[in-house]
Amino acid sequence: MSAVSTAASFIENAPPGELTEVINDIGSLLDDPSVTDKLIPAVERYHKEQFVTTKLPGGSGLVIVSEHNDLGGGRFYDSESASSFTYDHKTQACPAIHLETHRMHAYSAAEHSTANQVTSNECRKRRTYNRTRSRVNMPARCTYIYHPASRITITSKWQGTQLILSRKSLLRDVGNHVKEHFPSLPAYGVYPTNDGIAILIVGNKYSPSNYWNGRWRSAYTFNPSSSTLTGSIAVDVHYYEDGNVRLVTEKAVNESLRSTTSSDVARTIAAVEKKYQEELNRAFGALSEGAFKNLRRQLPVTRQKMDWQKASAYKIGQDIGGGARAR
């Protein structure tokens, strides 16, 4: 394995909030000024997998960088502002935002690889349309269409079942949940995918002065045809003051929904995440009373700590010091 490949594996496993430090350390170890450029592909993979957030120029909130909103060419879609932005993986910053009327069909990986390969002229025409239209009836051979101004329409993927879900309602309900339960550096997004609608949530909390950093990531796919919510919740916390301890855990999610309304989707997400948080709290309690307790030095049978200043008063102290026989 080459030095760059080894370094790339360190990049992809960097703790939350510590990517810059990892890159700097790699540069010092390899003593190669060009190593940063060689590691850009690994940095890009890390950003998309970790749902790294950035602040748009002139914006107040954070937006997500991920595979789900990747438009290609370093541009990503923001569902909140219905615009796209450029993200520089090397500088880890957003140098530009594109506020033009954004017309976009579902940008799944499959469709990206076969861009504009459609079998119907009507479908090709309807992939771009006026933002002011609130409803678009797609021909059966078209798969998805995303309406950034108001609605998501999903048709032929589910053999004629048509769902129109208000983007603003889903963003609002998911956003209310995020703002209530993720007080530190949260971001969220709603994007169409091949399997339904992707909902991403990420919460970061960094405290390098206290030697710890953490990240919570939720990635869900809402399938309106089967009324299911699937995905996973991932937690990554790094503590490095008196040691080097890292918690990396992930939980699969597979829930059935009572309805396909945005409020029910948000309620289900809230319930799933609350349950997982409670499971983590119980696990931490068991860990403290179990494994960590067994690692600690046991007290003497007297259940009192040894007073080393009075060690000579104990017989063991006499034995160590030679006791009366030494006098």
Question: In the chain, what are the domains?
Answer: 177-289 (3.90.1150.210)
Arithmetic mean of pLDDT, 167-190? 90
Which pLDDT value is given to residue 160? 32
Distances (CA, A) of 249 to 58, 191, 233, 268: 35, 25, 8, 21
Q: How confident is the model at residue 167 (pLDDT cuts 50, 70, 90)?
A: low
Averaged confidence pLDDT in the chain: 77
pTM of the model: 0.73
Is residue 210 over pLDDT 90? Answer: yes
Is residue 324 over pLDDT 70? Answer: no
Tell which wins on pLDDT, 33 or 254. Answer: 254
Distances (CA, A) of 98 to 11, 67, 133, 275: 29, 19, 22, 39
Q: What percent of the chain has pLDDT over 90?
A: 44
Interatomic CA distance for residues 60 and 111, integer angstroms: 32
Is residue 158 over pLDDT 90? Answer: no
Is residue 139 over pLDDT 70? Answer: no
Tell which wins on pLDDT, 320 or 52. Answer: 52
Which pLDDT value is given to residue 146? 39
Region of poorest pLDDT, from 6-10, 37-41, 107-111: 107-111
Reported as type and span, the H/E element at residue 24 is helix 19-30
Residue 109 burial by CB count (10 A; 0-12/13-18/19+): exposed, middle or buried?
exposed
Provide the 10 A C-beta neighbour count for residue 178.
21
Is residue 138 over pLDDT 60? Answer: no
Tell which wins on pLDDT, 97 or 121. Answer: 97
Which pLDDT value is given to residue 313? 64
Q: How confident is the model at residue 101 (pLDDT cuts 50, 70, 90)?
A: very low
Which pLDDT value is given to residue 312? 64
Which pLDDT value is given to residue 182? 92
Is residue 120 over pLDDT 70? Answer: no
